[in-house]
């Protein structure tokens, strides 16, 4: 609820926090996308809804611990989130994070805006 | 699969500073470090790679905080051309920060800074091009929700992954 509110408003502390989170995300998102296992986990979660680590690990030739580590990287990047089904931890995709990734060029473009703003501050000081 | 990634980013900014000042901030490695947010070994030389590490910028404390998690990540740019007070260009791997990934086999994008002196300042144009050859850009493109919605995106990701994993 909070998230959708902050996305709609154009000012205020919530929007500011949301903006900051987005600025922090690009490097983490592209880090998370830069791995074959994580891409396959994304594909699997897109197909199957919330899944346990056991079912996510099924068919991979790596340990559940390794899968957990990949999932943590994805959750840090805002691409996946962990919930519970009874006593079991289940994972699903964070669609906002994926939408952010789809704006790859805009994200890099924003990064250039930040760099050029800092260059401007430096040379005009 | 015809998921064309738009190939370039273009920026233009008017800097209210003398041409020589802007040129120095761009091409003196010690100054470049400050606004770009890196620490580099040595100076720029046309046609030569230069290595360094990502470091929080000293110009903006807010941005420095966000860059903190990536501090110490290896960084490489290959200087392309240095034409005094006119053009400075380099190639690099945009967001190539996963220490486990060897980016050396991947294509680089080209970043070109062109300067034009105007009354009262310098018009700086930045063009980064070559994104259509960058794998992570293509992956990101697979998430685009323009056509076919979520199911279509998943299909694209799966195709992409399978193609890459297949021997």
The structural domains of chain A, ordered by start, are 26-124 (1.10.10.10)
Helix, strand, or coil (residue B43): coil
Q: Shortest CB distance from A124 goes to which of B17, B69, B153?
A: B17
Which chain A residue lies closest to B159 (C-alpha atoms)? A43
Q: Quick one: how far is CA A86 from the chain centroid? A: 25
Distance CA A79, CA A66 (A): 17
Judged by CB atoms closer than 8 Å, whether chains meet at B70 and A27 is answered as yes
Query: Which residues of A lie inside 8 Å of B (Cβ-Cβ)?
Result: 20, 23-24, 26-28, 30-31, 33-36, 39-40, 42-43, 46-47, 95, 98-99, 101-105, 108-109, 112-124
Nearest CA-CA partner of B35 in B44, B46, B24, B51: B24
The predicted structure's pLDDT at residue B60: 65
Give residues with Cβ within 8 angstroms of A43, minimum separation 6.
B154, B157, B158, B161
The mean pLDDT of A39-45, rounded to a whole number, is 84
Helix, strand, or coil (residue A92): strand
The predicted structure's pLDDT at residue B64: 66
> What's the token pair of residue B91?
């190639």
Judged against a pLDDT cut of 50, whether residue A3 lies above it is answered with no
Q: Shortest CB distance from A23 goes to which of B57, B66, B101?
A: B66
Instruction: Please indicate whether residue B143 or residue A44 has the higher confidence score (pLDDT).
Output: A44
Judged by CB atoms closer than 8 Å, whether chains meet at B136 and A104 is answered as yes
Minimal CA separation from B27 to chain A, in Å: 12
The predicted structure's pLDDT at residue A116: 95
Write the CA distances from B161 to B90, B99, B146, integer angstroms.
30, 21, 20
CATH architecture of the domain with range B8-132: 2-Layer Sandwich (3.30)
Distance CA B75, CA B52 (A): 5
Provide the 10 A C-beta neighbour count for residue A107: 21
Q: Supply the pTM of this predicted model.
A: 0.68
**Residue pLDDT, tens place only, B43-74:** 999 999 999 888 766 666 766 666 666 677 77
Minimal CA separation from B62 to chain A, in Å: 9
Distance CA A79, CA A34 (A): 13
Pair A107, A100: CB distance under 8 Å? yes
Minimal CA separation from B47 to chain A, in Å: 23
> What's the token pair of residue A30?
């592209």
The predicted structure's pLDDT at residue B25: 95
Note the ipTM here.
0.78
Size of interface A-B (CB pairs under 8 A): 124
Distance CA A17, CA B66 (A): 13
Share of chain A above pLDDT 90, in %: 25
Where in chain B are the domains?
8-132, 134-167
Distance CA A50, CA A71 (A): 13
Distance CA A91, CA A93 (A): 7
């Amino acid at each position: 609820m909070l998230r959708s509110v902050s996305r709609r408003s154009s000012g205020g502390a919530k929007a500011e926090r949301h903006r900051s989170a987005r600025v922090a995300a690009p490097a983490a998102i592209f880090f998370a996308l830069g791995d074959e296992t994580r891409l396959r986990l994304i594909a699997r979660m897109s197909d199957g809804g919330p899944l346990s680590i056991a079912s996510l690990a099924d068919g991979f030739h790596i340990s559940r611990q390794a899968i957990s580590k990949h999932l943590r990287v994805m959750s840090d990047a805002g691409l996946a989130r962990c919930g519970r089904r009874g006593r079991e931890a289940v994972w699903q995709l964070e669609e906002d994070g994926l939408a952010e990734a789809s704006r790859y060029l805009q994200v890099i473009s924003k990064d250039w805006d930040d760099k050029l703003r800092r260059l401007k501050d430096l040379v005009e000081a | 699969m015809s998921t064309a990634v738009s190939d370039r980013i273009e920026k233009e900014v008017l800097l209210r500073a003398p041409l020589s000042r802007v040129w120095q901030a761009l091409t003196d490695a010690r100054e470049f470090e400050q606004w770009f947010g890196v620490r580099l070994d040595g100076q720029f030389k046309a046609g030569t790679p230069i290595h360094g590490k990502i470091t929080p910028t000293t110009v903006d404390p807010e941005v420095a905080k966000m860059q903190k998690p990536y501090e110490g990540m290896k960084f490489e740019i290959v200087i392309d051309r240095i034409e005094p007070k006119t053009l400075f260009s380099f190639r690099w791997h945009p967001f190539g920060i996963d220490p486990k990934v060897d980016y050396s086999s991947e294509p680089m994008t080209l970043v070109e800074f062109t300067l034009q002196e105007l009354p009262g300042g310098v018009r700086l144009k930045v063009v980064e091009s070559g994104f259509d050859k960058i794998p992570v850009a293509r992956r990101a493109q697979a998430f685009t929700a323009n056509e076919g919605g979520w199911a279509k995106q998943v299909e694209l990701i799966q195709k992409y992954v399978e193609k890459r994993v297949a021997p």
